[in-house]
Copies of this chain bind each other. A is one copy, B any other.
Amino acid sequence: MRNYILTFLLLFSAVVVMAQEEPVKMKPEMTEIWDPEVSVVTPGETPADAPSDAIVLFDGVDLESEWTSADGAKPGWTVEDGCVTVKKGTGVIKTKRVFEDFQLHIEWRSPAEVVGESQGRGNSGIFLQELYEVQVLDNYDNRTYRNGQAGSLYKQHPPLVNVCKKPGQWQTYDIIYTAPRFNEDGTYFTPPTVTVLQNGVLVQNNVKLRGPTEYIGIPEYFIEKHGPKGIVLQDHGNPVSFRNIWIREL
């Protein structure tokens, strides 16, 4: 009996010795990771439709459930024909909910009737976390400074291309936003990063922001630490419209 077992063990040892001489082979299963199972999401029928895990911020009819004006009152903008339009002088509108990292789908339309030029034509903006502006502007055949045109992170990153549709046509922004994380002293540990597709074309590729958007001067390095914040749409005095607004928290 002992001999048989000994023989077996010797054979086994031989295998081990061979294994040490040849490189050890891995197997496909060793690099499979099964858990936890990835969550299931049902996509929208079309790219404009919200996926099942999205929060619909504006469905074309109801603005008041999700938005207020800056002071918390009812938003003063006009809801009509399935879209919401800036009403000059009523100020920004702002989501009641607050967000950190997210994917945002939003569609916008500059007025069909062209009025003004450069920054004066079809100007509005989408402020991510209330502080970081993705510029909305009618830049179809309308030049302005490159770091302030449609698809720019205003005064920080010009768009890769100018892919504006004509005035009066609906355009889409698909925005992927990662919120900043902060050091104790109020500087960024990691800055906000943003990817933007305008009308399906990449205009910002994971760019890093230096600070909140500034109209004058360079972005502040020392800002107050902030947690989750809302989405703000700008009243720049031009009747820009928005529709199909949904957001997915990441």
Interface residues of A (CB under 8 A from B): 1, 4-5, 8, 19-20, 23-44, 47, 51, 53, 103, 105, 143, 145-149, 155, 158-163, 165, 174, 176, 178, 181, 185, 189-190, 193, 195, 197-202, 205-206, 214-218, 221-222, 248, 250
* Set of chain B residues within 8 Å of A27, measured between Cβ atoms: 24, 216
Contact in complex: B26, A30 (CB < 8 Å): yes
Contact in complex: A35, B146 (CB < 8 Å): yes
A8-B199 Cα distance, complex, nearest whole Å:
48
- Which of these, B35, B158, B217, B222, contacts A31 with CB under 8 Å? B217
Contact in complex: B103, A201 (CB < 8 Å): yes
Nearest B residue to A214 by beta-carbon distance? Answer: B31
Tell me, rounded to whole Å, the shortest Cβ–Cβ distance linking A169 to chain B: 10
Copies in the complex: 4
* Set of chain B residues within 8 Å of A103, measured between Cβ atoms: 201-202
* Set of chain B residues within 8 Å of A200, measured between Cβ atoms: 43-44, 47, 51, 105, 174
Contact in complex: B216, A28 (CB < 8 Å): yes
Instruction: Check A181/B181 contact, CB under 8 A, given A32-B147, A33-B145.
Output: yes
Beyond known contacts A31-B214, A174-B200: 13 more, CB 8 A cutoff:
A4-B4, A8-B8, A31-B218, A32-B147, A40-B162, A43-B163, A43-B165, A53-B161, A176-B195, A178-B205, A197-B197, A202-B248, A205-B250
- Which of these, B20, B33, B39, B145, contacts A147 with CB under 8 Å? B33
Contact in complex: B199, A43 (CB < 8 Å): yes
Tell me, rounded to whole Å, the shortest Cβ–Cβ distance linking A31 to chain B: 5
A35-B41 Cα distance, complex, nearest whole Å:
43
